[in-house]
Amino acid sequence: MSPHSLNAVPNAGAAGKTPADTPSGPPDGRPRRTTVVSQSDIEETILHPGTVRINVQGAFIVDEGPATPQSEEEGTHDPRDIRLPNHTAVVSHVAVDIGGSLAKLVYFSREGNSLSIGGRLNFVKFETDKIDKCIEFMRKLQRDHQQLNGSRPDELCIMATGGGAFKYYDKVREALGVEVIREDEMECLIIGLDFFITEIPNEVFTYSEDQPMEFAPFLSQPSSIYPYLLVNIGSGVSMVKVSGPRQYERIGGTSLGGGTLWGLLSLLTGARNFDDMLQLASNGDNATVDLLVGDIYGTAYNKIGLKSNHIASSFGKVYKMKRAAESEAEDGCNGDGKHHDPDELVQGSSEMPHGPAKFRPEDISRSLLYAVSNNIGQLAHLHAEKHQLPRIYFGGSFIGGHSQTMNTLSYAIRFWSKGTRQAYFLRHEGYLGAVGAFLKRQPRNWGRRNSFEER
């Protein structure tokens, strides 16, 4: 049975919300962090998370994007560039992490003003099925690199990771005529995550309903971050135990990940992209499709601590309601002698293929988002507990900065761990692997603490 997580999006329907689910203080009794974003800035900060400029000496996040990133033919530019003000050397490589659904690309660009030193890391993503667009983009980077530095085209090399680094190896190498260096996916993920945790201030944050984006304190001792659990949520989910720099082990995972949510919602709702699905979920009420403890007991099951609004069965009302509606349709009004209240059947805008019972796509989206997120949260907790990992970092493109997803994951971790563990998120969550691959080959003296060796 999963916790019934709460709606964290202002102005959305807050069905099932009870005072008991809304703790007035931090549930684990920990002191507040010092860096806090005020409530009014939350949505803006999630959409444009790079507005806070905090350290001109080292690397930092800089926002240039005008709006929420959207999928386009030319790739989606993440508005959260990372400025590297003190960097001067020529960077002659790009890095790409080609996953099951998305290809994530990281590249360095010098500042436009030729008098400035330094430059920035840029983040772009493509659908893996449109890998040609990604290759075309890299060709453009290749041309720019040649123009700026006068080098031969083959001097820009490609660092590649993710499954597609193997599947598309020949294709990329032949298309660009350059060296393609393949790096292990798990290693890149944790190198990238270590970099974000230890080098980029205001990158890592926690999420709760009353403090939706609370930056984690910047750790002065990089070694103190270990051990930790990385839960990387892409199409599928990988759970990686990290014991120290480059010391990692994949300890688990689940096939119920982003691909499951996107796949099922594309079948069940009219939504055609992730943003639409998440928007639907924000406006939904899962209680119309999920079977809650209260639906079974008529009350809470106090003996084992299950509240009446806990989800006993995700989609547990659907089969029953469809059956009831079908019987009624077959039997006519006087059929089975049982009459349903008008509000027993939810009318919605979605056209389901079979049977007369209708369910709102909003409610279906919310239920499935809860189901997938709660399940990942529970598995993450069990793995963190088993391996005694105090911190859990969530990465991967599934989260997408979406507050409801982060709230559900955070709630699940707090619920299952009884408040002893917390979920940490990253503003560049989707780019851990790509940044890790990028850092596998880098100029000297890169990074705040020179913690990365040159390849």
Q: Scanning residues 280 to 319, which ones bind a copy of itself (CB under 8 A)?
A: 289-291, 293, 295-299, 301, 303-304, 311-319
Spatial separation of the C-alpha atoms in residues 433 and 448, rounded to whole Å = 20
Q: Does 375 bind a copy of itself (CB under 8 A)?
A: yes
Spatial separation of the C-alpha atoms in residues 418 and 378, rounded to whole Å = 12
Site for a copy of itself in 109-148 (CB under 8 A): 127-129, 132
H-only helix segments in 387-428: 403-416
- Is the Cβ of residue 45 or residue 313 nearer to a copy of itself in the bound state? 313
- Is residue 194 helix, strand or coil? helix
Q: Which range, of 17-25, 98-106, 146-154, 431-439, touches a copy of itself by CB under 8 A?
A: 98-106
Q: What share of the chain is helix, strand, coil (3-state, %, to 5)?
A: 35, 20, 45
Please list, in sequence order, all residues whose beta carbon lies within 8 angstroms of the beta carbon of residue 259, skipping any fewer than 6 positions away.
Answer: 100, 101, 234, 235, 236
Site for a copy of itself in 160-219 (CB under 8 A): 162-164, 166-167, 184-186
- Is residue 373 helix, strand or coil? helix
Q: Does 422 bind a copy of itself (CB under 8 A)?
A: no
Among 67, 115, 267, 333, binds a copy of itself (CB under 8 A): 267
Q: Which range, of 146-154, 193-201, 263-271, 435-443, touches a copy of itself by CB under 8 A?
A: 263-271
Q: Which range, of 24-32, 52-60, 89-97, 158-166, touches a copy of itself by CB under 8 A?
A: 158-166
Asked if residue 188 lies in contact with residue 160, where contact means CB atoms within 8 angstroms, the answer is no
Structure token digits, residue 202: 């205001």
Spatial separation of the C-alpha atoms in residues 50 and 35, rounded to whole Å = 15
Q: Does 433 bind a copy of itself (CB under 8 A)?
A: no
Among 42, 175, 181, 352, binds a copy of itself (CB under 8 A): 352
Asked if residue 277 lies in contact with residue 269, where contact means CB atoms within 8 angstroms, the answer is yes
Strand order in the sheet with 422-426: 214-215, 204-206, 422-426, 391-395, 228-233, 237-244, 247-254
Q: Could you give the string, one character per residue 215-254, with x where binding to a copy of itself holds by CB under 8 A and - elsewhere?
A: -------------------xxxxx-----------x-xxx
Reported as type and span, the H/E element at residue 392 is strand 391-395
At residue 76, φ and ψ (nearest 5 deg) are: -105, 115
The least distance separating a copy of itself from the CB of residue 251, rounded to whole angstroms, comes to 10
The least distance separating a copy of itself from the CB of residue 285, rounded to whole angstroms, comes to 16
Q: Which range, of 53-61, 87-95, 375-383, 429-437, touches a copy of itself by CB under 8 A?
A: 375-383
Q: Does 275 bind a copy of itself (CB under 8 A)?
A: no
Among 220, 221, 255, 450, binds a copy of itself (CB under 8 A): 255
- Is the Cβ of residue 111 or residue 184 nearer to a copy of itself in the bound state? 184
Q: Does 430 bind a copy of itself (CB under 8 A)?
A: no
Size of the site for a copy of itself (CB under 8 A): 85
- Is the Cβ of residue 82 or residue 380 nearer to a copy of itself in the bound state? 380
Asked if residue 181 lies in contact with residue 160, where contact means CB atoms within 8 angstroms, the answer is yes
Q: Does 15 bind a copy of itself (CB under 8 A)?
A: no
Whether the bond into 49 is cis, omega within 30 of 0: no
Structure token digits, residue 355: 């049977």
Among 202, 208, 260, 405, binds a copy of itself (CB under 8 A): 260
Site for a copy of itself in 41-70 (CB under 8 A): none
CA-nearest of 446, 454, 453, 438 to 161 is 438
Among 123, 205, 228, 359, binds a copy of itself (CB under 8 A): 359
Q: At what angle do helices 258-268 and 361-386 cross, to 10 degrees?
A: 170
Q: Is the dihedral of CA 219, 222, 227, 231 positive or negative?
A: positive
Q: Which range, of 38-46, 192-200, 265-273, 388-396, touches a copy of itself by CB under 8 A?
A: 265-273
Spatial separation of the C-alpha atoms in residues 130 and 101, rounded to whole Å = 10
- Is the Cβ of residue 33 or residue 167 nearer to a copy of itself in the bound state? 167
The least distance separating a copy of itself from the CB of residue 35, rounded to whole angstroms, comes to 35
Asked if residue 241 lies in contact with residue 231, where contact means CB atoms within 8 angstroms, the answer is no
Q: Does 95 bind a copy of itself (CB under 8 A)?
A: no
Q: Does 356 bind a copy of itself (CB under 8 A)?
A: no
Among 26, 50, 69, 99, binds a copy of itself (CB under 8 A): 99
